[in-house]
Structure 1
């Protein structure tokens, strides 16, 4: 991959990284926040989940806006909103203020995945799509890895409020670089003509895309008639449940069940997240090599998605492990599995989607599916802990959902998302 396309991958990686740094900041600070505002496990579960409510609500509108107004403008608006909301979380003086800040943050963050999918379709040749999608998604694990160490130390030294100000400020640095340097490949002045021609020639190769080259957008309602889109969304949901279990409750679990301090919790959490970053990119590269002969349009990437989900089921062993080193290894395998599942599932969506004009809205639909399950995870875990006094069933539920997701992706994503042809007067495109 050219280093110029590498800069696009770096933009996407850092966008996702900042997104998840801001999400996990609340989890790192959960113990002092719960103490200050006198919140129970159930109360914290609702607070953890709150940003997902607005995130899921705004995903589909954001998908339509990104397809209409472009990635540069909408990514800028989104990161400005969520970074400001994150910084202002540090000024919250009540539970209501905390809740409002998280809701605004979630609305802003709804641009991230649709923007990432659209930029990858615009900039990346089809035979590099798996690796670059993995790089984009790996940022969502690099963010928690970095944040766990840095914010854990800041909270221990200066209190929880300053950590949100710093996390929010990082987003504004990214925004400035994005507005200066990013554009579509057809308009980017810093891109050489030879590479521009390669991108435009190879970004839509494969039997699925070639069949519909130059076609108008099918519309989301038409795409929703295909079982493939629903299969991708359900698979994403089964996977994201486990992701949000880790993202919201892992620090509390390590402190309550394993007796770690806030600082040690940050260091312990960083290791499996860091492992997931490296291994997820490696798995994405392997999936591209796996599809080299059959082509991305074959849809065979679904097999890699299923294998990644099966790796994630290592989480089922957590209740039976007492050794912290073994626990660290199991968490690393699980996080690598769910990280790889997300990136491969996103790449599979692009593989099976005929028209690039539908990318953002289709991605938004899949992410809504994921976050429908994701918003349940923090709340369900809070109730499980409150009722049983243990996290064992929380890990069990997550593992069973991963098994279900592997079955869904193998059975429901076996054909391209080719919409039915409907007369324009009967059904206008969405």
Structure 2
């Protein structure tokens, strides 16, 4: 990959990192917030989940807006909204205030994944897609790794309100750099002609020409008729359930069951996230190598997705692990599988999607599917902990879903995501009449 294209990948990495820093800020500060507002485990479960409600609600409209107005404008608008909501969380004085702040944050964050998928389709040859998607997605794990340490220390020294102000402020720095430097490859002046030509010629997989699909892109109504799109969305859901279990409840789990301080919890939470960043990027690179013989649009990446999910299912062993260092190893392996699954699954969507005009809509649909499971995870875990006094069944449920996800991707993602034959035929007839 050229270092010039690498700058765009770095922008996306930072976007995901800031996104997840703001998400986990509540988890890091959960103990003092619960004490100040007298919140039970069930109430905290709903609060952890709340940002996903608005996030999922706005994803599909955001996908349409990104396809229409482009990722530059919509990424800027999204990070402005969610960063402001994060910073203003410091000013709330009630549970309802916390809830509203998280809902606004979730609405803004709905831009992140569709923007990432759109930019990757615009900026990178198909042969680099797996690695770049892994770089983008690894930011989702770098954010919690960095945030757990830094915000954990800030909460311990200056209190939880200061941590939200700092977390929110970082997003505005990224926004200024994004608006200053980012353009499409066709509009970017600092690209050489040779690199611009390589990007434009190699960013499509060739499926559009083979399938005869309309270059203008199809509607979501046509896309959702594809079993492969549903398979990718269901796989994402099984994976995201465990991701949000970690994101929302891992600090509380370590503090409650291992009797750790907030500061110590920050370091231990950061460890598995940091490990998963490096291994996630490596898995994306290896998946690109794996596809060189069979071709990007062969759909063979599903095998890598299934393998990553099986690796993540090591979470089933958490209830029987007592040693803290062994526990960190198990959590690191599981998080690596989860991180790899997300990036590989998004890459599989791009592999199977013929028309780049549909990327943001399709990725929004998949992320909605994932976050339906994601919004259930914090609430279900709250009820499980309240009912059993233990986290054991929370980890078992997550592990079972990961196995289900592996079976789903192997069976339901075997065809390209394209309009039905009848829809293609109607499009061709309309074109012929117009001509």
Normalised by the shorter chain, which TM-score bucket?
A: over 0.9
Partner of 1:310: 310
Deviations 1:265-295 (A, max 9, x none): 0000111000000000000000000001111
Within 2, Cα distance between the matches of 1:212 and 1:407? 31
Aligned to 2:395: 395
Residue of structure 1 in register with 2:415 after alignment: 415
Name the counterpart of 2:219: 219
Q: 1:236 to 1:115 in 2, by over 3 A?
A: same
Aligned to 1:141: 141
Q: List gaps (5 residues or longer) in structure 2.
A: 431-435
Query: Is 1:174 aligned with 2:174?
Result: yes
* Alpha-carbon distance change, 201 to 341 in structure 1, aligned in 2, over 3 angstroms: same
The TM-score with structure 2 as length reference comes to 0.97
Alpha carbons 1:208, 1:297 under 8 Å: kept: no
Query: Offset at 1:211?
Result: 3.7
What is the CA deviation profile of residues 124-147 of structure 1, one whole-angstrom value per residue up to 9, with x for unaligned ones? 100000000000000000000000
Deviation at 1:418, TM superposition (A): 1.6
Aligned residues: CA RMSD: 1.4
> How far apart, in 1, do the equivalents of 2:340 and 2:62 lie?
25
CA distance in 2, matches of 1:330, 1:308: 14
Q: How does 1:289-368 map to 2 (within 5 A)?
A: 289-368=289-368
* Count of matched residue pairs: 427
Q: Does the 8 Å CA contact 1:209/1:353 hold for their aligned counterparts?
A: no
Q: How does 1:12-411 map to 2 (within 5 A)?
A: 12-207=12-207, 210-212=210-212, 215-411=215-411
* Structure 1 residues 370-417: Cα deviation after superposition (integer angstroms, max 9, x where no partner): 000000000000000000000000000000000000000000000001
Note if contact 1:208-1:416 (Cα within 8 Å) is conserved in structure 2. no
Shift of 1:219: 1.1
**Offset of 1:425 from its aligned partner?**
12
Please report how far the alpha carbon of residue 215 of structure 1 lies from its aligned counterpart in structure 2 after TM superposition.
Answer: 2.0
Alignment-derived partner of residue 3 in structure 2: 3
Compared with structure 1, are the counterparts of its residues 48 and 206 closer, same or farther at alpha carbon in structure 2 (3 Å cutoff)? same
Three-state SS of the structure 1 residue aligned to 2:157 is helix
How much has 1:426 moved relative to structure 2?
12
- Alignment check: 8 A CA contact 2:213 2:418 kept: no
Question: Helix, strand or coil: the match of 2:190?
Answer: coil
Partners of 1:212 and 1:313 lie apart in 2 by 40
Tell me, what secondary structure is at the counterpart of 1:201?
A: helix
C-alpha separation between the residues in 2 aligned to 1:211 and 1:383? 48
C-alpha distance in 2, partners of 1:5/1:285? Answer: 16
Moved more, 78-87 or 205-214: 205-214
Q: Distance in 1 between matches of 2:350 and 2:49?
A: 28
Measure how far apart 1:205 and its partner are: 2.8
Tell me the distance in 2 between the aligned counterparts of 1:354 and 1:219: 13
Q: Cα deviations across residues 318-359 of structure 1 (Å, max 9, x unaligned)?
A: 000000010000000000000000000000000000100000
Counterpart contact for 2:125–2:202, Cα < 8 Å: yes
Consecutive unaligned residues in structure 1, runs of 5 or more: none
